[in-house]
Every structure is written in structure tokens, then in C-alpha cells.
Amino acid sequence: MIVEPAPAKLNLALHVRRRRPDGYHDLETLFAFCRDGDVISLAPAPADSLAITGPFGAALASEGDNLVTRARDAFRATFGVSDPCAIVLEKNLPVASGIGGGSADAAATLRALARLHGVAPDDRRLFDIAAGLGADVPACLLGRSAIGYGKGDDLRPVEGHAGSPVLLVNPGVAVSTARVFAGWDGADRGPIGDEPAAGRNDLTAAAVAAAPVIAEVLAALEALPGARLVRMSGSGATCFALCDDARAAAATIAAHHPGWWVLATELR
């Protein structure tokens, strides 16, 4: 049995520069990763199978095809292997929440298959597969702090903020990435830097228009004692706060908003 973590992805900053002719947007984004997230377990088996467990597993149970199986099939096609395997996805992160759950799961599947078949984790072909699966998958495959350019898959590793406590909060709404990008106002507000405090998330206004409760989450996080950086991740609806004591902050949010999902963790 091979076990690979699929850590939650955060966009500490997300600058949208322009719409591209191919329908994507040119981005500059500062990726960071948490110590907690989903988990992929994989083992050789007589036949292929995918089981989905965890608190958010039911949201994916009806899918016949998802990023995990697509990653498995693309790996096989690229590396010429066909051995069946049993995969278990422990789904601990909310679905469609801006923290890279599906992308992280696909990346963890690629890492697990690479371990199973003796492929080096930095093999360029793995990143080519990842780029074909989704814009965030290469960053999740790299799994360390980096600035992403282009669609977000042109990566430049940077020094991160490992060990920094962080609180993630999701109000329990799924936000359409396509809808949020379509709602971007088209204004280029300038390039990104290495420090998240100097950045922003250019999709916040569009996400709040799609799901006004996001503004409530941001306000609740900004009111926390010791919150140093509060922002929405990706296209929402999950927001985060870098703070002095993530566990105490989680308890405060949970007491006032018992229906919201909270995760106290730290950056890796």
C-alpha cells in the first residue's frame, strides 16, 4: 500500500493580468500548501477500483470519472504500464472550494503511481501529464511554495512560510470557477511579488457577487485577534487567515458559525 498526502492548496495572492485567446487567463499567483488535506492510498489489485471515503466523499460518490482516474489513465498511457490498482481517496476537503482538492488528488495519484513503478518524482513527463489535467495540478505535483505564471502552471519555486499557523474556513457553498472568472472586471492591477502581504486576490469581488456569504467569512476572519493576512483562496469559497493561534481562531469561528467548515493547520 502506497499512501500519498494531497495537501490543501492556498493562493496567498492571485493576480489576474489578462484574458487569453484560448479562453484561459494569464495569472500570477503565489501558491502555498498546508500540512493537512486529502489522502490517496494505492495498491496493486486484480482489477481497477476507486473507493471514496471521508467527510466529503459523498459529494464525489456519483462521479464515474474524476481527476484521480484521469491521472491514473494518463500515467499509464505515458509510461506504458497497464497493471490494475485499487485506489482509495479519503476526501477531507470541501469540493469546489478554491483549495485545489481535485488537483491535489490528481497530483497525489501521479506521485503514488510514480513510486509504484519506479519513476523519479521530478520526471518531466509527470509534469506534462499534470499540465494536461488542469491548471493547478502542476503546482500540486510540485507541492511547495512557488509563483505560478501563465495559466498558473509555469512555476518558479520560492521560499515559503513553513510552520506558519493558518485557519481555513468554508461557508458550505460551492462556487463555479468558470462563473467567477467570467465575473472578473478585466482590470490589470499589476504584477505579483514574493511577499503575500503585498498581493491581493483579483477574483474576490466576482466570487462575492456569486456567493455573498464569502464577504461574511472574510469579515469574521479579519475580526480575529492575531490575524495577520486574510484572503480568499483561488476562486473561492474557502478563505484563510495566517494568524498567531489557528486552533484558538478555529474555536472562535466555530462558536459563532457552527455551520461553517473550519480547519486549523499550518503551512508546509
Active-site residue list? 9, 136
Cβ of 30: how many Cβ atoms within 10 Å?
Answer: 23
* Cβ-proximal residues to 253 (8 Å cutoff; 6+ apart), any chain: 167, 169, 220, 221, 224, 260, 262
Q: Contacts by 187-194 with C-beta closer than 8 Å and gap 24+? A: 188/16, 188/17, 188/18, 189/15, 190/15, 191/15, 191/17, 191/28, 192/13, 192/15, 192/28, 192/29, 192/30, 192/147, 194/30, 194/147, 194/158, 194/159
Q: Which residue in this structure is represented by grid cell 469559497?
A: 237
Q: How many CA atoms, within 13 angstroms, populate the side-chain half-sphere of residue 250?
A: 15
Distance CA 26, CA 253 (A): 34
How far, in Å, CA of 85 to CA of 49, rounded?
A: 7
Among 74, 61, 130, CA closest to 100:
130
Q: Which residue has the cell 464569502?
A: 214
